[in-house]
Amino acid sequence: MRAAIVTGAAGGIGLALCEGFRAAGYRVIGVDIGAGSPGVLALDLERLCNDEGYRRDALQRLLAELNNDELHVLINNAAVQILGGTGELTVAAWQRTLNVNLLAPFLLAQALLERLEVARGSIVNIASIHASLTKPGFVAYATSKAALLGLTRSMAVDIGSRVRVNAICPAAIATPMLLEGFKDNEAALDVLAGMHPAGRIGHPEEVASAAVFLASRQAEFINGSVLGIDGGIGSRLHDPV
């Protein structure tokens, strides 16, 4: 059976990714830091980066969960977003961000590469519009997502035809976390929606649909690419008038 591994499976986009790949006929193995539920493997990605013994055990558990299914897709979706300006970011916050958002996707890709090669599968990295367009206070997050795009392109070149590697850069997506942040200020949410030429923010299912397409045979010539799911905001100039 075709299998897909999705990190950050308990988040808004992660849940949509899991549902999208299941609907497309994949067996989905979700990975998240929280307590495991059916189909979700509890795994701490920061500890995966820092603790060699834990990394070895965690990867063994992941491969055991995969069993003999063909691994067609690795979706690196898990991320942390620690806000802080240039003058206030701590080394710990900086390192945690780079570990979870950048090093963990590489380590998972490295560990699963042989299984992906057998299926001539693909890796889809969920980056962010912050990789190219950001705002104050997002120094660590924006840096990690920009580096994730660099990892995407360099791995696509390095691996070549054996496993395709692409990335998705969402803009504002209507996840429970985002909506919770605007629950007391719906007017601000409307302003944010209006900044997108599409006239709205995105839906998690739209990110999932893009990932399913990038992993499909219809996308076999797409490699090392970055797909913006941003409602056109990445093309818009915001002048003060």
Amino acid at 182: F
How does pLDDT run across 54-69, given as a tens digit for each residue? 999 999 999 999 999 9
pLDDT for position 181? 80
Please give the backbone phi and psi of residue 26, each rounded to the nearest 5 degrees, phi first.
-90, 150
Query: Quick check: is 54 catalytic?
Result: no
Question: Could you say which of 74, 141, 201, 202 is catalytic?
Answer: 141
Helix (H) or strand (E) holding 30, with range, is strand 27-32
Q: How far apart are CA 102 and CA 139, in angstroms?
A: 14
Residue 121 has what pLDDT? Answer: 97
| Whether the Cβ atoms of residue 206 and residue 70 lie closer than 8 Å to each other | no
Q: How far is Cα 59 from Cα 78, in angstroms, rounded to an integer?
A: 16
pLDDT in tens, 193-205: 999 999 999 999 9
Whose tokens are 């069993």? That residue is 67
Residue 112 token pair: 């699963």
In the predicted model, is pLDDT for residue 169 greater than 80?
A: yes
Q: What is the pLDDT of residues 119-162, one digit of tens each?
A: 999 999 999 999 999 999 999 999 999 999 999 999 999 999 99
Residues 219, 4, 205: CA angle, nearest 5 degrees:
70
pLDDT band at 179 (very low <50, low <70, confident <90, very high): confident
Lookup: tokens for 208: 């999932």
Q: Report all structural domains of the chain as residue ranges with CATH numbers, in order of start.
A: 2-172+204-233 (3.40.50.720)
Counted residue by residue, the chain has a size of 241
- The answer to whether residues 105 and 152 touch, using CB atoms and an 8 Å cutoff, is no
